[in-house]
Amino acid sequence: MKRLLLGITLILVVAIMSACAPSFSIVGSWKQTYGEPGWDSQNGRIVWFDDSQCNIFSPLDTYGISDKTSDSFTLSVSGLLGGNLTYSAVILDSNNIDVYSSGKDEPTFSFTRLE
């Protein structure tokens, strides 16, 4: 009986800790640390995301996030001139992400959050 109670308590503690873990947010300023040749590969440039806009390709891009899990999400970017691109993003940690074009094994962009 003691083992059963201990097991249930442990499960509850893990569930509560998981629910309280901070969720990833892309909102903020990021420094590009890698850019695939042929793309806007200006390493060191600053990219920002607010609630709905970003500046990956132009100052007035819009973006959306879908299929979010604890370690990845789909990033859809619509450019000022109407281009729409969809990427797979991998959350390396709360301050680093790699962004992949469809079918690529190497990141198209890598970003580090600016504090």
Kindly tell me if the per-residue pLDDT of 22 is higher than 60.
no
pTM score, whole prediction: 0.75
| pLDDT given at position 29 | 96
| pLDDT given at position 13 | 43
The domain of 103 spans 26-113
Of 105 and 17, the structure prediction assigns the larger pLDDT to 105
Q: What would the pLDDT profile of 96-109 be if each residue is shown by its tens digit?
A: 999 999 888 999 99
| CATH number where 60 lies | 2.40.128
Contact 89, 98 (CB under 8 A): yes
Kindly tell me if the per-residue pLDDT of 11 is higher than 70.
no
Q: Kindly state whether residue 9 falls inside one of the protein's structural domains.
A: no
- Which amino acid is located at 47 in the chain? V
Q: Kindly state whether residue 35 falls inside one of the protein's structural domains.
A: yes
Kindly tell me if the per-residue pLDDT of 16 is higher than 70.
no
Q: Kindly state whether residue 82 falls inside one of the protein's structural domains.
A: yes
Tokens matching residue 66:
């879908």
| pLDDT given at position 42 | 73
- Count of structural domains within the chain: 1
d(CA 44, CA 97): 15
DSSP for 32-95, written as a single string: EEEE-BTB---TT-EEEE-SSEE-SSSTTEEEEEES--SSEEEEEEE-TTS-EEEEEEEEEETT
| pLDDT given at position 19 | 44
Q: Kindly state whether residue 40 falls inside one of the protein's structural domains.
A: yes
- If residue 98 lies in a helix (H) or strand (E), which one and from where to where? strand 96-101
Q: Kindly state whether residue 57 falls inside one of the protein's structural domains.
A: yes
Q: Kindly state whether residue 12 falls inside one of the protein's structural domains.
A: no
d(CA 57, CA 102): 17
- Which amino acid is located at 10 in the chain? L
Q: What would the pLDDT profile of 37-91 be if each residue is shown by its tens digit?
A: 655 557 788 999 999 999 988 888 999 999 999 999 999 999 877 789 999 999 9
Q: Kindly state whether residue 4 falls inside one of the protein's structural domains.
A: no
3-state secondary structure of 96: strand
